[in-house]
Amino acid sequence: MAEMIVGHNALKGIREAVQADIDSGEPIYILDESESEFTAVDDTEGTDRTIRYISHDKITSAWLEGKIVITYSAGWYDQAVDPHSLAEYLFKTVDKHVLQTLEHIVIVSADTERDWDELFSILEDRHGNPILEVCDLPDECVGIQWTEYQTVVVNLGNIIELSKELCSDGFSDVATETNIGVITTVLHELFHMAQNDPYAPEELFLGLPADPEDQAEAWARKTFEENGGYVLAK
């Protein structure tokens, strides 16, 4: 685990920690590197997992917005997500150590078969292989995190359905509940990504439950309670 440092220094610290592991004989190598990022291939779990680390000062709202993919179908809901607002929200509220390996935030609809066709050619690994050949879209749940690809996927259609059920007693409205559902689901899955980052600093997990599921949920709830926020288009 690396120490909690920011900006270029955070990237440098992680690069040094990776090098120390390489030097001690761990099955890890550096695929490519530049001033602002490097990609490690980690075979410690036997999966040749490719992880790209980006310098924290490159993690801007615009960079985050570029990571958000919304399918055509997911864009048509009355409660569609505004990628700009979501990116600004994550930029303001989330520790860069959580975001340092992010590749994509994907928002799909309840029509996952149609979304699959749209996303198949878009979601590729660093070797140009389609990720959807080996990963499933979340058709039964609200969100998922693809450990090998530093990608989180949110099923907006399912969140809206659950929100409608929650609102059937008339105490809330669908947009309010959907907004909370989207934010907490994105945060929950992003935290799973941090849990799966071998070089995430220990400080990220302090004061949180030990169980990974409880931990991700507690952090997501806490982040939303402290910051509020609205990320829907209308």
Residues that bind Zn ion (CB under 5 A): 213, 216
As measured in angstroms, the least distance from the Cβ of 227 to Zn ion is 20
17: region left, alpha or beta (phi > 0 left; psi from -120 to 50 alpha): alpha
Measured distance CA(191)–CA(126) in Å, rounded: 22
Nearer to Zn ion, 101 or 145 (CB): 145
As measured in angstroms, the least distance from the Cβ of 153 to Zn ion is 12
As measured in angstroms, the least distance from the Cβ of 217 to Zn ion is 7
As measured in angstroms, the least distance from the Cβ of 130 to Zn ion is 24
Nearer to Zn ion, 73 or 184 (CB): 184
Residue 97 structure tokens: 């150590």
Nearer to Zn ion, 18 or 216 (CB): 216
What number of residues does the chain have? 234
Burial class of residue 84, CB neighbours in 10 A (0-12, 13-18, 19+): middle
Measured distance CA(182)–CA(160) in Å, rounded: 9
Nearer to Zn ion, 62 or 141 (CB): 141
